[in-house]
Structure 1
Amino acid sequence: MSEAFVDDLGALLVTGEPGVGKTTLLDAAAARARQRGRLVLRATGVELEADLPFSALHQLLLPLRAGWDDVLEVALGGAEGDMPERAVVAEAVLALLRRAERPVLLVVDDLSWIDRASAAVLEVVAREVAFLGAARLGLGSFFRYGDMPVREIRPLTGEAADRLLRQRFPALPAAERERVLAEAQGNPLALLELPTGPSRRLRELFAPHVRALTEPARWLLLLAALDTTGDRRLVTDAGALGDLERARLLHLDDATGRLVFRHPLIRSTAIDLSTGAERRRAHQRLAELFADQPDRSARHLGEATVWPDESVAARLERSARSVLDRGDTVGAVAALTRAAELTPGPADRSRRRAAAAYVGAHSIGRLPPARQALPVPRGSLQIAVTAAHVLLNGEGDIDTAHRLLAGALADDRTMKDAGRAAVEEALYTLVSVCFFGGRPALWQPLRAALDDDSSEIVRLSHDVLADPARLTPGVLDRLDAALAGLPRETDPAWIIRLGLVAQVTDRQDACHDALERVAQGDGLAVGLNAQMLLARHAYARGRWDEAQRLADDAAARCREHGYVLLALPGRHVQAQVAAARGDDRTALAIAAELLHWATPRGVGLVRTYAWQVRTVVALGRGDFEQAYLHASRISPAGTLASHVPWAVQTQLDLVEAAARAGRTEEAAAHVAAVGTAGTRHVSPRLALLADAAAAVTAPDDRATVLFERALAAPGADRWPFDLARVRLLHGERLRRMRAVTAARAELLQAAETFERLGAEPWSQRAAAELRATAPERPGGSALTPQEGEIARLAAAGLSNKQIGARLFLSPRTVQFHLHHVFAKLGIRSRAALRDALDRP
């Protein structure tokens, strides 16, 4: 691939899991390009450097430093001056590259971790010059590759992995070789490292190497991991560097003079294996080492400090001014927010928090320019709310928005001057931040800020959204009472907020008319919110064409008006429809887009959208192990996450996937967790899903009772896709119990619903089950229903393992049945199955 790319240079992005060989391919392409006379400029994204503006661009263009013009000198930190616009920087970069003595190839590894400013410039530059980038699969990035060609580097096949292992480790015992092959799953780096340093998980691949280091070597490794720049000043002990180079973890690059990690996993492993005290001590040392770089030193000092310290807070405030002058609004807000946290005095703490809010609000031009003075306007709670809206809906910066709001609501001085309306808006904005953040710890400051004067909608939102898996009857009674008043409600914001809570508890019907009124009204933002909720309702009720139309229109209008975060629930609905209808390419592309945006920003709910879509795609394909892994990302088996609405809505997905993948213990543990949480009483739909999940893991006699109870849930037909899936599961179980007539009745109803919805993968599965219940052929050579189904799946190309997963059989049992099938049909191989089955 590297040769083909260099022979026809353009732009290309390669993706793949860690260790799959992306960097090796980039190395090969770079070497070939140099042989062809190209000037190769390289940079590598660094996770902890993603908040340093133009850090990746500086690394990329450093070999051409002599040719930097005034724009690049200022942008890349070589001179003082007003920070130029990113479009101007992009033009300066292109001009620099055009002046180069040779044609240029830009190579950027780990695009997932380059900073936002560099990403914006490279998006422009990559259209004009030869560009090769690599990004980890499943991680987002600030770099938007648009229509750039993307090539996924997949793990090695079983045969290739075995060949590599035999070549590199010829003396490895057969049993050990099989273990390594099973654990590595075709990952080349794991194949080469596991035999010498075994680890059960790829992410822990380098942990044994780090633990084996001397104390000085581990200390240097931690300093390099936390600093991210690779500055050679970190090396004060040549022996420690020698230890790291011999361990092949880190080395000093002679060409650049920078410390370079052999693999990005080593950096994260070094940090993960350190204690909090060690990290704080390392940050303190880094602050001292780089005292000549005030902003860099202040950032490290802020991380090293635990207790309030005015001197540290003041340094962070000065750094915020400097960062803001360079155009990094988000960095300035983060520095001021941390400064406020470390401020001992309440007056200065309020002032710095208000300044952070003011700067954040300025980032979309809602307030006058805030540069040197960082003034403190009156009504700082309102300003904090404005800034949090910007950070959430524009940047997607969950953590800074949360710190800003939580700090303002806990500040007595701020709250004393705030009116009740401002407090309510701040509380609900914090609800939104917590909901999209998707982490339980985010909810605690909101819980502490609630008081007797808090409105019912704020209280309901907290009580439902913070833990939708464990709702009490009292909370649900309050919700139903609020919904009863919706026909008389005229406040669009109230309707939207209640609509979200209703959606999580399957009470969308009660909100439909009110949401229609809001969607048809004049308010743009509330109208789009209403349309998103209506799209979700239409999908749940089986009106998928309507859901698609609403989501398409709402997502397009969000993009038109710059509502980045608001568009994503609509994209999720689009992906849900595509996944259920078997349009895997569209569904997976949207899921990748959601992860791409949400992962670097920590927007947990949007990541959950992507995992839910991937789960449904895998279930439709019959890839139950993959479906289980995706569903487990939403909520691990045996646990119902307290902060994720989809944890209860995808309970059947996880249990079915686990059971069919042979993970019976995990399936049973999840059923037990659902039972303990008591989700059945929340809504008829959750009763349907909970009973069906329990039936999947139950013995036959108990399963029948549970399936019948599930199907008898009041109003279950309001959720046609869910109901049809439960009928399919019931029919499959009845067929295995040889209750053929009863099985056909359930399967026919399921097939009819799937066909009406256009759920193609599920229609095919129901049809296959129905064929297996067809009357036997006359004559002694007739296949049993079990044999007939196995034969049809084998004829379709499924392996014994895949057939077993679908039919709850072991691969050995499948092979036993196929042996009888071949004998009855008078054939000798799978290749003859299709023709034999088609014979009358």
Structure 2
Amino acid sequence: MEPFVTPVVGRETEQSILSSFVTSAEGRALVLRGETGVGKSALLGHVAEQARSAGYRVIRATGVEAESNLPFAGLHQLLYPLLPHVERLDAVHRVAFDVVFGRSHEAAPSVMALGIAVLDLVTTAAPSKGLLLMLDDGQWLDPASTEICGFVGRRLAGNAVKLVVALRPEGSSGFDSAALPELPVPPLDGSAAARLLDERHPRLDPEVRRRVLDEAQGNPLALMELPPYLSGQAGERAAREPSGHGVVPLPDRFRQVYGARIAPLGPDQRAELLRGALDGVHAGAATGLTRAARYRMQGVEEAAAAGLLDLDPAGGEFVFRHPLVRSTVVLSATPNERRSAHAALARVHRDDVERRAMHLAAATVDPDEEVAAALEEAAASATRRGGAAAAVTWLTRAAELSETSGDRSRRLGDAAFVAGQAGLLGQVQRLVDADRAPSGPDSAASVLVSAYAALYEDGDVRSSHRQVAAAVERLRDGGAAGPGEELTRLVNLLLAISQYAGADAWARTHPLLDSLGELLPAKSRIYQDAWSDVVRRGAGVHERVAQAYAAFPNLDPWDITRLGVAAYHVDTLGQYRSHLLRRVERELRTGAVMNGMTMLHLIMLDQTASGDWAAAERTGQRVLELTTAHGNTLFAHQSRAYLALLAALRGDLGRARELQAVVDRWARPRRIGFLVQIADAAATAAALSEGDYEAAYLCAIGITAPGTFEPGAHQAARTVLDLVEAALHTGRARQARRHALAAQEAGLPEVSPRLALITFGALAMTAGDDEAEGLFRRAETHPGAADFPFELARVRLAHGIRLRQGRGPRAAREVLRQAAEAFAELGTEAWAERARTELRACGAPAPHSAANPAALTWQEQRIAELAAGGLTNKEIGERTHLSPRTVSSHLYRVFPKLGVTSRAALRDALAAVPSAPGPGGAA
């Protein structure tokens, strides 16, 4: 029996484009998009023949609904024929494949790491003439595989590898945002449709022919399949229906056609077809599939004779003629028949953890602890491999099948935890509703998911803190034997809530956690000390963080992030940025999305601290877009707070104040102290940037009073230099000195390198001449000082001013030159101009303040381009959602950066420089 293939008729344009695609010397990707039955598979066949004739090796895979929730199932299918070449790769790439294909329990690689490994594999495996990867029904590929295929497809230029993906337009697919070139496949025109119909069904009754052409509307599959149906007894009713396209939608008509062929089959054949359909047996040739992992239909010759199946010439197996045959088989079966088929398939896949669990879940109706445990195991496997969404689904089903309310609640808690980390807050809320009975609203699972929703969607730190604290107390008083998963998750969530809430929450949290004794996990103690108050609890934290990070890569992704937050608080984040970069893309694309958002926040913070401000802004804009898209209101405002602080440092004062005001209006009424303090810090930095020291002082003392460090005020230690400098410039020398001494007495230099730099700098600024020089040198030569270029430049500027006033201009020139160059490199024009002014006062030539287009923020460049196009400030404001006054403020800073003095000169200045990076972040 020959396999069924829709003939290629009337596709001259598409065939010409595809032929050029094959013969092009460069590797690239192409997406064919068209409705069901329009002939995409036939065009794939044409591409395959063209490629084989040109010497290509061709590998063809097909997405199927049954595997759409199995992480990396599609990728495994596509790459299976190439796996022997994995041994030729380096060790890192071999491990990546072992993890995603279930041969290793190492931590899952990021999308970027796995994508690069796949690129390496296909390039290594490609013969000299080239390799063509073909993917049919790509809309059903699992999300993890879709991301990798999109990543690879965008990077094939220059390789001897090509990728073609066929998609249906209905529904959404991960390929929709993959940014791959597309070739639309429309229905055939009237002439080509008539020619195809006459070739395949000559001597057709004229009325039936007219009816087929009318209903098919140029769809090749309909032209092939409708004539026997409309001509036969099964189609008599259809033939009596009113004529006109759309009376019966084509997918429904196809199901009628195939249903009429299924109905006469005996029960054994229908059962065999059902098992094949539910296990994802493909339509068309199965070239390159993992045959041992697929159900083989037996004794289905009658179904093949009825036009439901084809014979795969490569492997001699029966495959479905079209995906709609497969779905029709499933829809025509009774619920009991489907459950029986799933049970049989679970036995077939007894050695495949995830497939067996998937089928057991579908086969089971009543609570069954064995099936629930199998689903738990499958969820753990999916989580390790980056399939958080599948893990949530399986854990939720495991909860439904649990035999006791305790197990049900525990599994719902596990599902809620993974869903919360994955940013699936809507699913979290559904889990809350699911756990209200019989385990009750006070169960750990209900508390966990309720608190997630309250905290991240609404910023409700007060009620979420009460809920979680009460749940921790119940577990403690219930005689918990050790720090189990429920307690650990609740404690860590309580710590996160307390960090956002601030001092009042910490005053309640510390005694509760102290009462847990040995029940409190060691890593949670690190989080408690680092997140709450580094002034009082920060000594030695950086060593404990380093010891905990030594377990990488065996740490859970959420512990990598929590330890990263701890490292931020003690200013050692730069040591661990590589760990975050290694994981962040995987978390964002296929795993714990909220965890990935926090990783982006941390990466941005480290970029800011290290002076890579352009990259920090790109990262900040990217995470703001992500948090907004996921409805995570708390994280969105946190992103704005960090962007406000960054804008203030750069001197982008209009934007800084707008963002700061948005954050303050939202966070202050909710008493989210963490964000309020960052907003105050941004306001302080903005005032310092423009030299408004009185405003800077008032903002700084809003964080903490001079000479004190408010408990739980995480910005109190970070703004030592700000308060001291603002106090000195406003004649408050006594308050400045008291605050610098308080920082020393609190032991801040021992907590972190940054705090050592700013504490010694503050002491030097407030000390007498005899003592100041040694303190300045101690600050500037501290081993970690160079890692914080903005703070170091500020200390040098203060040092240079003191030297000029005390020892004369010559002594001050070098340190002032270093400060001016550092500020200029950072792109903070106001600070750079202060340093240049001091240099000129010393009689030294200041570094030239030439146009510095690279220092333009993305917002400044956008506004400059609009202004160059002739728009008024009001019109620009309407486009950018800014006030005309803020637009004017942006342009005021853009002109000197570009070295122009008028709008008329903007166009030429912008044309002479490369465009600034956009806000979207890396691909």
Q: Which range, TM-score by smaller chain?
A: 0.5 to 0.7
Q: CA deviation at 1:658?
A: 2.3
Counterparts in 2 of 1:632 and 1:92: CA distance versus 1, 3 Å = closer
Q: Is the 8 A contact 1:587 1:613 kept in 2?
A: no
User: Which residue matches 2:530?
Assistant: 539
Deviation per CA, 1:488-536: give whole Å up to 9, x if none.
34333442232022112125524544665236xxxxxxxxxx3332332
User: Which residue matches 2:518?
Assistant: 517
Deviation per CA, 1:615-650: give whole Å up to 9, x if none.
222222233343233234333599797538755666
Q: Is the 8 A contact 1:354 1:383 kept in 2?
A: no
User: Which residue matches 1:455?
Assistant: 442
Alignment partner for residue 317 of structure 1, among 255, 275, 278?
A: 278
User: Which residue matches 2:843?
Assistant: 826
Q: How many angstroms apart in 2 are the aligned matches of 1:675 and 1:493?
A: 36
Alignment partner for residue 656 of structure 2, among 664, 667, 685?
A: 667
User: Which residue matches 1:726?
Assistant: 719
Give the residue type in structure 2 aligned to 1:628: E
Give the residue type in structure 2 aligned to 1:269: A
Alignment partner for residue 502 of structure 1, among 488, 494, 508?
A: 494
Counterparts in 2 of 1:581 and 1:404: CA distance versus 1, 3 Å = closer
Q: How many angstroms apart in 1 are the aligned matches of 2:814 and 2:594?
A: 44
User: Which residue matches 2:827?
Assistant: 802
Matched, 1:605 2:594: yes
SS in 2 for 1:608: helix
Give the residue type in structure 2 aligned to 1:610: M
Counterparts in 2 of 1:555 and 1:443: CA distance versus 1, 3 Å = same
User: Which residue matches 2:179?
Assistant: 269
Q: CA deviation at 1:355?
A: 7.1
Q: How many angstroms apart in 2 are the aligned matches of 1:798 and 1:709?
A: 27
Q: Is the 8 A contact 1:141 1:600 kept in 2?
A: no
Alignment partner for residue 112 of structure 2, among 140, 143, 146?
A: 140
> What TM-score results when the alignment is normalised by the length of structure 2?
0.49
Q: How many angstroms apart in 1 are the aligned matches of 2:723 and 2:345?
A: 55
Q: CA deviation at 1:397?
A: 0.7
Deviation per CA, 1:274-328: give whole Å up to 9, x if none.
9xxxxxxxxx98999999xxxxxxxxxxxx99xx999899875130799886559
Q: How many angstroms apart in 1 are the aligned matches of 2:334 and 2:548?
A: 44
Alignment partner for residue 396 of structure 1, among 353, 371, 386?
A: 386
> Superposition RMSD on alpha carbons, in Å?
6.7
Alignment partner for residue 703 of structure 2, among 704, 710, 714?
A: 710
Q: CA deviation at 1:604?
A: 1.0
Matched, 1:614 2:603: yes
SS in 2 for 1:455: coil
Counterparts in 2 of 1:250 and 1:632: CA distance versus 1, 3 Å = closer
Please list, as runs of the form range in 1=range in 2, the aligned pairs for 1:106-125 lying within 5 A after superposition: none
Q: How many angstroms apart in 1 are the aligned matches of 2:599 and 2:396?
A: 28
Q: How many angstroms apart in 2 are the aligned matches of 1:316 and 1:547?
A: 56
Q: CA deviation at 1:437?
A: 0.5
Counterparts in 2 of 1:222 and 1:501: CA distance versus 1, 3 Å = same
Give the residue type in structure 1 aligned to 2:112: G
User: Which residue matches 2:408?
Assistant: 423
Give the residue type in structure 2 aligned to 1:379: P
Matched, 1:434 2:419: yes
Larger RCO, structure (CA 8 Å, separation 6 or more):
2
Q: Is the 8 A contact 1:398 1:603 kept in 2?
A: yes
Please list, as runs of the form range in 1=range in 2, the aligned pairs for 1:321-400 lying within 5 A after superposition: 326-327=292-293, 347=335, 351=339, 376=364, 379=367, 382-383=372-373, 386-387=376-377, 389-400=379-390
- Structure 2 residue ranges without an equivalent (≥5): 1-24, 34-47, 64-74, 121-133, 142-153, 167-173, 185-217, 226-250, 260-272, 296-322, 499-505, 759-784, 849-923
Q: How many angstroms apart in 2 are the aligned matches of 1:346 and 1:788?
A: 85
SS in 2 for 1:622: coil
Matched, 1:629 2:623: no
Which entry has the higher C-alpha Rg, 1 or 2?
Answer: 2
Q: Is the 8 A contact 1:783 1:821 kept in 2?
A: no
- Structure 1 residue ranges without an equivalent (≥5): 1-30, 32-40, 49-58, 78-82, 98-105, 124-136, 149-220, 229-248, 275-283, 292-303, 330-334, 520-529, 832-840
Deviation per CA, 1:782-815: give whole Å up to 9, x if none.
6799999864412x5542662426x3xxx6x45x
Q: CA deviation at 1:428?
A: 0.9
Please list, as runs of the form range in 1=range in 2, the aligned pairs for 1:178-327 lying within 5 A after superposition: 268-269=178-179, 317-319=278-280, 326-327=292-293
Q: How many angstroms apart in 2 are the aligned matches of 1:777 and 1:269?
A: 57
Q: Is the 8 A contact 2:461 2:497 kept in 1?
A: no
Alignment partner for residue 468 of structure 1, among 445, 455, 469?
A: 455
Q: How many angstroms apart in 1 are the aligned matches of 2:341 and 2:633?
A: 30
SS in 1 for 2:602: helix
Counterparts in 2 of 1:376 and 1:67: CA distance versus 1, 3 Å = farther
Give the residue type in structure 1 aligned to 2:178: S
SS in 1 for 2:114: coil
Counterparts in 2 of 1:457 and 1:584: CA distance versus 1, 3 Å = closer
Q: Is the 8 A contact 1:611 1:634 kept in 2?
A: yes
SS in 1 for 2:383: helix
Q: Is the 8 A contact 1:548 1:574 kept in 2?
A: no
Q: How many angstroms apart in 2 are the aligned matches of 1:87 and 1:638?
A: 34
Q: CA deviation at 1:471?
A: 0.5
Q: How many angstroms apart in 2 are the aligned matches of 1:585 and 1:328?
A: 47
Deviation per CA, 1:557-612: give whole Å up to 9, x if none.
686xxxx6x52234335545666777676323112211254244242133224313
Deviates more, 1:591-600 or 1:718-727: 718-727
Give the residue type in structure 2 aligned to 1:537: Q
Q: Is the 8 A contact 1:353 1:407 kept in 2?
A: no
Q: Is the 8 A contact 2:391 2:418 kept in 1?
A: yes
| Seq. identity, % | 13
SS in 1 for 2:719: helix
Q: How many angstroms apart in 2 are the aligned matches of 1:372 and 1:483?
A: 35
Alignment partner for residue 793 of structure 1, among 819, 830, 844?
A: 819
Q: Is the 8 A contact 1:707 1:730 kept in 2?
A: yes
Q: How many angstroms apart in 2 are the aligned matches of 1:74 and 1:471?
A: 51
SS in 2 for 1:828: coil
Tell me how many residue pairs correspond in the alignment: 595
